[in-house]
Structure 1
Amino acid sequence: MNDDILLSMTGIDKRFAGIPALSGASFAVGRGEVHALIGQNGAGKSTLIKVLTGYYRRDAGDVAFDGKPFEVFSPQLAQASGISTIYQEINLVPYRSITENICLGREARHYGLLDWKRMHKEAETLLRRFNVRVDVDRPLMEFNTATQQMVAIARAIGFSAKLVVMDEPTSSLDDREVTVLFDVIRQLKQEGVSVVFVSHKLDELYEVCDRVTIMRDGRTVKTAAMTEIDKIGLVSSMLGRTINRAEGHATAFSDRDEKKIGKVLLSAQNLSINRTVQDVSFDVRSGEIAGFAGLLGAGRTETARLVFGIDRPRAGIMHYDGQQFDPRSPADAIAAGMGFCTEDRKSEGIVPEMSVAENMMLALMPKVSKSGVIDEKAQRKIVERFIRQLDIKCSGPDQKVRELSGGNQQKVLLGRWLAMNPTLLILDEPTRGIDVGAKGEIQSLIKSLADRGLAVLMISSELEEVIEGADRVFVLREGITVAEFDRNQATEDVLMSAMAHGNAPRIVEAAS
């Protein structure tokens, strides 16, 4: 093994219920190197890290760390071996003090008793590297998210790790705090500590990383020095597309009749909530399919949550059907005529142990109830109608929804919202995780709904789906709307350019 290599992972396989999450993945990090690990949702980044840190056991492959074969069976053992991981979701003890969190698991003792003076001093010294000066004896929960993130990083560094894995470490930091973090990463590099930097923010990679490994569909597709690959190359590798392609593949969407598109139904200007949504503006017209394109972390789903009242915006204004719109909850959005099929249908959409009928009627239940008693005859009639209309393959309304295929589960969710007779339907990754045949059926259904006058806001990570399906495409990048293209302008070239650089003025002019 090369003495300059600290970590080597080769031929890594990992399956869940027979489905591959990693297939022959490889990853290598040099000593004193800052190495970026990037990829879209489902690319395998998190699984690879969890295999490394003992959270998962690999099915095949070899791992070597610091010149020796390496296998641990828990994150604690990985940490004891010199690998510290800082997860995006802060994994600390909120009711304990900052000192306790930083020193947890390696407490200093004097004559068998906890040496608080020494531990407080160590915590203060570690945090001072981040220009954080706080009372380390206070509970962590009393501090903001940015300070908690700095405490998590200080804890990882305090273990004298040889390798620090940072999973989206800047997600809750402001620009000043990001600058401080990058200074600390450079210090670690000078001290010979290696850093794996997981981020969806392309600009950050070029600022602090030496090399990058790109993953897609559980495989390692490219490793290169940051100086040898530009942003377009990163985007192309993540998406599996080539920048000089201008034509999308044909899908079940066919040419739309622009004459059927009506007036603006929803408009949003300058929406913001935090770093995930900073300045998003768009509008959707009746009978139109408006598409959101962007890389992981661009703010697409977060914007949809603002529109549907799941989260409240910090700034910005929305209008719906000509009236100012400020939903305080999803109930307000539903009452206004909206439906929302979430990206994660298994966690946030279907209720697995409930029947097809029960899942489909969740939103409509108040309308088919009288004095709290469900009108089962009316419910049955509605459910059977949508089973027929959507061609849901099931044994009947009483079959448990968990027994259906992914495509049919998605149709049940569509039926839930269509039963409400909405005027706007938000579809977040409507064809993710379903087979090709069901995908075509869902796409045809979306088109037919728009043809009947329904406004559709469609979020998709598949460029060809957005290009072929949307009448207009809004490109989001790091929480900002950076470009808008109509159907004739939206090619893979211009979308990838906007996703990579934040704008595409030259290409837009050429296309318009």
Structure 2
Amino acid sequence: MTAVTETPTEAAAHEGDVVLRAVDITKTYGVTRALKGVNFDVRRGKVTVLFGENGAGKSTLMKILSGVEQPTGGVLELDGEPVTLASTTDAVDRGIAIIHQELNLCPNLNVRDNIFIGRELRTARGIDYGREAEITRGLMARLEEEISPDTLVADLRLGQQQIVEIARALAADARILIMDEPTSALSSAEVEVLFKVIDDLTASGVAIVYISHHLEEAIEVADHAVVFRDGDLVADRDAEGLTLPWVVSAMVGREADYDFRDASRDYGDVALRIEDVRVVDQEGGGRLAVDGVSLDVREGEIVALYGLMGAGRTELMEALSGREPFATGRALLGDTDLAPYSIQQRIELGIGLVPEDRQRDGLVQLMTVGQNLSLASLLGSVRRGLVSRKHERGGIEDQIRDVRVKTAGPEALITSLSGGNQQKVVIGKMLLTDPRVLLLDEPTRGIDVGAKGEIFSLLFREAARGLAVLYVTSEIGEALSAAHRVVVMSKGRVVREFDPRTCTREEVMAAAGETGADVHHTKEQHRE
């Protein structure tokens, strides 16, 4: 069944009506109570934002509302009537679609097939690929992306894959659309386009449930907000009274408390020296993704690399780690030129990368927490040609404790952890290699404010022991509060450097080619 889109007049007449209600919903996994009797309303033509730390229960509730999982107790009501959502297909048939936090695409299929997988358009002669391609082109135009329906998803960058995930949900023509971290890999311009789409959807009566760890961004789009903590819905507020301090305090039970601008600046020698490096964009027609970058990072120093999508930050990090070659220039780890060394050899020398996409590039989903932690350092546990399980296990247990991974133990599947704890495992995996320089590409993507604080506390602790850290971020607040130095890239070049103790947000954003004036609008401005 395809959901029927209302006219603006019809939508206005019913705006604010409850279309989906969760009543006393509970969910248990063994002895863990993920949801503890939650009551939650989804309203027609409104954006309801869910805030909460990883593991608070937000995504669990969304999985229940979209038919991914069944509640242990409680009732769902759709249009005032009790309903059982037996599967995601059942939910879609009833007009409920979800954009998942972790991308749920088939990389070996093209964009068109990913958008219509499981609900292909059929004629008497078979699948109507032409019509599917036409709709796909329309969706890409609506999202202002030049992506061909025939492009393999594996060939798209992460942000473009996120666009495809959004397009797939839009193609379902749902009347209730759940967005779980829809902007985690999007650029500022792409976020702006998505917000316009959300405004169009709500104006036509679609109910939006929106989850994001980008707190300021979510506040802008919200009509109503609820806060989850430890499986309970602990607070709610309409948009008029919604402020960042209120959200953070309700989420974590205290004010936001990570700001490392006054951290020790007792630096050592230059650990990483980047000299006039150029990197070719292999998918960009031979253009330079990195164009003459020079940069030093010292022992004990944390440098934030800020910039917009397409600035060349990820390409630089991947080239430093050995995933992409330098076209010109060189990088020195101490006195060692990295050019002749492979990824594994660079790890052994003391440089490691925490990649942007932890699911695809940082973790093996079928392995346990312990197995993932020891992957990069396994050779260090070899004794007389065999892996010493005792040595390996000792290192794993020490690292779980050291980076504060919240897990049932080393044997727990990596998929049982929240996003923040999975990221700690990826970081811990690289710390087990005893690096001199740690590279991190968007280390806090898709994780909550509490977990961000824990991760940066970990990085500053390691920096105090002499580790050099270079990390990429798209969040200006993060760059200013969690670095000794902020380096801005734009169009493949380093354009400015700032001391976060003395610079302003506006100065850094302007240097990146972004004034902020066209990025952060209020909800009312979006609708004008």
- Cα shift readout 1:424-468 (whole Å, capped 9, x = no counterpart): 468989xx9xxxxxx9xxx99x96x87775657899xxxxxxxxx
Q: Does 1:363 align with 2:376?
A: no
**Partner-residue secondary structure (3-state), 1:331:** helix
Find 2:218's aligned residue among 183, 205, 211.
Answer: 205
Q: Is the 8 A contact 1:149 1:172 kept in 2?
A: yes
* Residue identity in the other structure for 1:123: I
**Where in structure 2 are the equivalents of 1:176-215 lying within 5 Å?**
176-215=189-228
Q: Does 1:374 align with 2:374?
A: no
The whole-number CA distance in structure 1 between the counterparts of 2:269 and 2:391 is: 30
Deviation at 1:329, TM superposition (A): 5.5
Change (3 A) 1:126 1:224: farther
Q: Is the 8 A contact 1:265 1:284 kept in 2?
A: yes
The whole-number CA distance in structure 1 between the counterparts of 2:118 and 2:67 is: 20
The whole-number CA distance in structure 1 between the counterparts of 2:326 and 2:153 is: 22
Greater mean deviation of Cα atoms: 65-74 or 125-134: 125-134
Find 2:105's aligned residue among 91, 97, 107.
Answer: 91
* Residue identity in the other structure for 2:105: N
* Residue identity in the other structure for 1:335: E
Deviation at 1:324, TM superposition (A): 7.0
Matched with 2:11 is: none
Q: Is the 8 A contact 1:386 1:415 kept in 2?
A: no
The whole-number CA distance in structure 2 between the counterparts of 1:454 and 1:15 is: 41
Find 1:234's aligned residue among 205, 227, 247.
Answer: 247
The whole-number CA distance in structure 2 between the counterparts of 1:239 and 1:52 is: 25
Matched with 1:265 is: 271
Matched with 2:321 is: 309
Q: Does 1:7 align with 2:20?
A: yes
Q: Aligned pair count?
A: 441
Find 1:30's aligned residue among 17, 39, 43.
Answer: 43
**Partner-residue secondary structure (3-state), 1:169:** coil
Matched with 1:41 is: 54
**Where in structure 2 are the equivalents of 1:6-405 lying within 5 Å?**
6-88=19-101, 89-91=103-105, 95=109, 98=112, 101-102=115-116, 104-105=118-119, 107-109=121-123, 112-114=124-126, 116=128, 119=131, 123=135, 126-127=138-139, 130=142, 138=150, 141=153, 144=156, 152-171=165-184, 173-242=186-255, 262-266=268-272, 285-286=298-299, 288=300, 290=302, 306=318, 309=321, 320-321=333-334, 330-338=343-351, 347=363, 352=368, 362-364=378-380, 374=385, 402=411
**Partner-residue secondary structure (3-state), 1:64:** strand
Q: Which runs of 5+ in 1 are unaligned?
A: 249-255, 295-300, 393-399, 433-438, 460-469, 504-512
Q: Is the 8 A contact 2:28 2:35 kept in 1?
A: yes
**Partner-residue secondary structure (3-state), 2:411:** helix
TM-score with structure 1 setting the length: 0.59
* Residue identity in the other structure for 2:236: T
The whole-number CA distance in structure 1 between the counterparts of 2:429 and 2:16 is: 59
Structural RMSD (CA): 6.6
Deviation at 1:144, TM superposition (A): 4.5
* Residue identity in the other structure for 1:67: G
Q: Is the 8 A contact 2:272 2:297 kept in 1?
A: yes
Matched with 1:435 is: none
The whole-number CA distance in structure 2 between the counterparts of 1:158 and 1:330 is: 40
* Residue identity in the other structure for 2:268: G
**Partner-residue secondary structure (3-state), 2:271:** strand
Deviation at 1:188, TM superposition (A): 1.6
The whole-number CA distance in structure 2 between the counterparts of 1:75 and 1:328 is: 47
Greater mean deviation of Cα atoms: 68-77 or 306-315: 306-315
Change (3 A) 1:220 1:176: same
Change (3 A) 1:417 1:121: closer
**Partner-residue secondary structure (3-state), 1:37:** strand
**Where in structure 2 are the equivalents of 1:400-439 lying within 5 Å?**
402=411, 422-424=435-437
Deviation at 1:49, TM superposition (A): 1.2
Matched with 1:395 is: none
The whole-number CA distance in structure 1 between the counterparts of 2:172 and 2:393 is: 60
Change (3 A) 1:4 1:281: farther
Change (3 A) 1:332 1:240: farther
Q: Is the 8 A contact 1:103 1:119 kept in 2?
A: no
What percent identity do the matched residue pairs reach?
A: 27
Q: Is the 8 A contact 2:373 2:428 kept in 1?
A: no
Q: Is the 8 A contact 2:305 2:486 kept in 1?
A: yes
Change (3 A) 1:152 1:472: closer
The whole-number CA distance in structure 2 between the counterparts of 1:356 and 1:181 is: 35
Deviation at 1:76, TM superposition (A): 0.7
The whole-number CA distance in structure 1 between the counterparts of 2:217 and 2:146 is: 27
* Residue identity in the other structure for 2:378: L
Deviation at 1:222, TM superposition (A): 3.1
Q: Which runs of 5+ in 2 are unaligned?
A: 1-14, 282-289, 307-312, 402-408, 448-453, 473-481, 489-493, 509-513, 516-528
The whole-number CA distance in structure 2 between the counterparts of 1:150 and 1:347 is: 23
